[in-house]
Amino acid sequence: MDVIVIQGPDEELNSTAFHLKFGRFKLGLYREKKIDLIVNGTRTGILMKLSNSGKGYFLRDSNKQLLISKSFVSAPETLNSLSVPGKLPKIFDNPDKDIPVNEVTNDDMTLNSDEIKLLNLNMGVNIIHYSVRTNEQVLLSAKIYLWDYRSKMIISDIDGTVTKSDILGHLYYIIGKDWKREGVVGLYKKMRKRGYQIIYLSARPLDQIDYTRGYLAWAEQDGEHLPDGPTILSPNGLFTSFKREILSTSHTFKTQALEEIMRLIPEDEYPFIAGFGNKKSDAIAYTQVGMPKDKVFIFEKNKKNEEFFSAIRNFDEIIEDLDVKFPEIDDYILIS
């Protein structure tokens, strides 16, 4: 999954979890293999391993000290580049004897500020590859977004919001037909140019991350594409995610995902400017993290639930009032 990293006023770094999962077919092939983290084409020395369920977790010793590949730090210039404030990671002498993890938790998929600095991130977008150590042709990829703590964010649902409907958005993309809502590309591009970060948040399972990214990159309008932004999906499997959709409880995951982002930011800074969705559950998630009703935009034909959100029928309603609802941001660092 894509990762969001926030740089605080004191240059401390905080990030969302590094969710990595191999499907069951590949799990049998790579269960005992280590995963190298490669950021912007450079090996970081940080390793992950796959749990029995296929989830990746960082390798640490019994004192929770991060383990670094011995082969990586053998070069003096590389070792010097790892000299960051705080406790240095421990050199990993034997990659076949690590601390086993039976059940992976969010803590096993996160890095602290000093450890994040080992990734040598650039402001804006960074590319991360997860490479199977014994077969470097096996790669999973994602993006790491490094933003300033004053960044302002727009949250967008995907199914039924970017697309016209929950189901046909899937099916039409498979046959190469676009089923997006008119005006979505234009609106999101305009908001991005005004300095707002766009986050695509969906209750789809993590298994569909490549498929989802593919659609968001492919959809176009008048020769323009949707602005780039983190794609955040549910780390749960297909069955759990589907059950949550059936029971209309997708807001539980979305609320948790937004709360995780909020924890990266100082308490006196509020990051979320607006949220777009097509269900009452989207409105619940947005308002539970503090978004005001007039900045929660839900596609609702009969406007029967307007006490919970601002009902809209198309994106043109927002574009017409863009200067009032989304003025240009000129008082904080703009990340391009």
Model pTM score: 0.86
First-to-last C-alpha distance (Å) of the chain: 21
pLDDT (0 to 100) of residue 247: 47
Q: Return per-residue pLDDT of the chain as tens, 336 residues.
A: 999 999 999 999 999 999 988 766 665 665 557 888 999 999 888 989 888 777 889 988 878 888 887 766 544 444 444 444 444 455 555 544 555 555 678 888 999 999 999 999 999 999 999 988 766 667 889 999 999 999 999 999 998 899 875 554 444 444 455 656 888 999 999 999 999 999 999 988 888 898 889 889 888 888 899 999 999 999 875 545 444 454 455 678 899 999 999 999 999 999 999 999 988 889 999 999 999 999 999 988 766 666 678 888 888 889 888 988 898 887 444 443
pLDDT (0 to 100) of residue 8: 96
Instruction: Count Cα neighbours of 154 within 13 Å in the Cβ-side half-sphere.
Output: 25
Token digits of residue 219: 């959809």
* DSSP 8-state assignment for residue 66: B
Task: Give me the sign of the Cα torsion angle 291, 294, 297, 300.
Answer: positive
pLDDT (0 to 100) of residue 35: 87
Using DSSP's 3-state secondary structure scheme, residue 296 falls into strand
Structural domains of the chain, with CATH: 3-148 (no CATH), 153-325 (3.40.50.1000)
Nearby residues of 20 by Cβ (< 8 Å), 6 or more positions away: 1, 35, 48, 55, 56, 109, 130, 140
pLDDT (0 to 100) of residue 273: 95
293: region left, alpha or beta (phi > 0 left; psi from -120 to 50 alpha): alpha
pLDDT (0 to 100) of residue 243: 47
| Longest Cα separation, the chain | 66
Cα 26 to Cα 41: distance, rounded to the nearest angstrom: 24
The strand pair at 153-156 and 272-277 is best described as: parallel
